Amino acid sequence: MSAIPSDIAVSAKDVVRTFQIGENRVEVLKGVTLDVLQGETLFLVGPSGAGKTSLLYTLAGLEKPNGGEVLINGQSLYRLGRREQAQVRNTSMGYVFQSFFLLPELTALENVMVPALIRRHQARDRAEELLERVGLGGRAHHLPSELSGGEQQRVAIARSLMNDPAILFADEPTGNLDTATGNSVMDLLMDLVNERKRTLVVVTHDQSLARVGDRKVTLVDGRIVN
């Protein structure tokens, strides 16, 4: 494998992703090649079923490709063992999902602390600081059921930053929010990423949101078309 430039955070090389649906094998990603630069904010857009979320999950170490290769900071992610992959995900990546995925029995503060607890680090002070940063310092001890959708997504953003990852992946982070709340959440996410000079990859169906990024990549039928 040849070396890649050190300014590339995420690199996909001829990535293929297929799914078995009954007797049919469906090719969702058809040899996608893509480089994401360090500190870049990149938005993945395209019609429903184009393969946007599959590409995001493959780049993020959550779905192994059927072919091709994904490199994170020059390291081939899927050639690592499961334990090493999990370590890279926990230390180098943060995730924000459309459905928040907060643990319902934990408070906002405890949810933010989860990535650090996985690493057996006590990090209450940092979690409290992040909740303050996303405007929820006064809601730290509320359960997810006691928070609005926008507040839950802010908790999820704080959680994604808990281990100070170099790369953030966001899958339709405003998809379950009304327009005003979604715009507010996206503004917050962009501010946090820019002030920390982090890399951000976002899947969105909202073309207007995609305009705030450094670059927009369009997928159609499993292929990049721009």
Q: Where are the domains of the chain?
A: 8-224
Does pTM surpass 0.85?
yes
Rounded Cα gap, residues 95 and 121, in angstroms = 19
DSSP secondary-structure letter at 60? Answer: T
Mean predicted confidence (pLDDT) in 147-175: 94
Q: What's the pLDDT band for 21 if we cut at 50, 70, 90?
A: confident
- Angle at Cα 158 formed by Cα 214 and Cα 136, nearest 5°? 120
Instruction: Please determine, looking at this structure, whether the domain spanning 8-224 carries the CATH number 3.40.50.300.
Output: yes
DSSP secondary-structure letter at 205? Answer: S
pLDDT cut 70: percent of the chain above it: 96
Is 95:88 a contact under the CB 8 Å cutoff?
no
Rounded Cα gap, residues 174 and 84, in angstroms = 31
* pLDDT tops 70 at residue 147: yes
Is 167:10 a contact under the CB 8 Å cutoff?
yes
The closest alpha carbon to 174, from 195, 190, 193, belongs to 190
Is 44:19 a contact under the CB 8 Å cutoff?
no
Q: What is the pLDDT of residue 152?
A: 96
Q: What's the pLDDT band for 56 if we cut at 50, 70, 90?
A: very high
Mean predicted confidence (pLDDT) in 107-122: 85
CA distance readout (Å), 205 to 12, 36, 60, 96: 22, 20, 19, 15
Structure tokens at 102: 């907060």
Rounded Cα gap, residues 202 and 161, in angstroms = 15
Identify the weakest region by mean pLDDT among 3-7, 76-80, 189-193.
3-7
Is 74:2 a contact under the CB 8 Å cutoff?
no
Rounded Cα gap, residues 161 and 115, in angstroms = 9
Is 150:138 a contact under the CB 8 Å cutoff?
no
Is 205:45 a contact under the CB 8 Å cutoff?
yes
Rounded Cα gap, residues 48 and 59, in angstroms = 19
Mean pLDDT, the chain, rounded, equals: 91
Q: What is the pLDDT of residue 222?
A: 94
Mean predicted confidence (pLDDT) in 53-58: 96
Mean predicted confidence (pLDDT) in 52-70: 95
What does the chain come to in residues?
226
* pLDDT tops 90 at residue 119: no
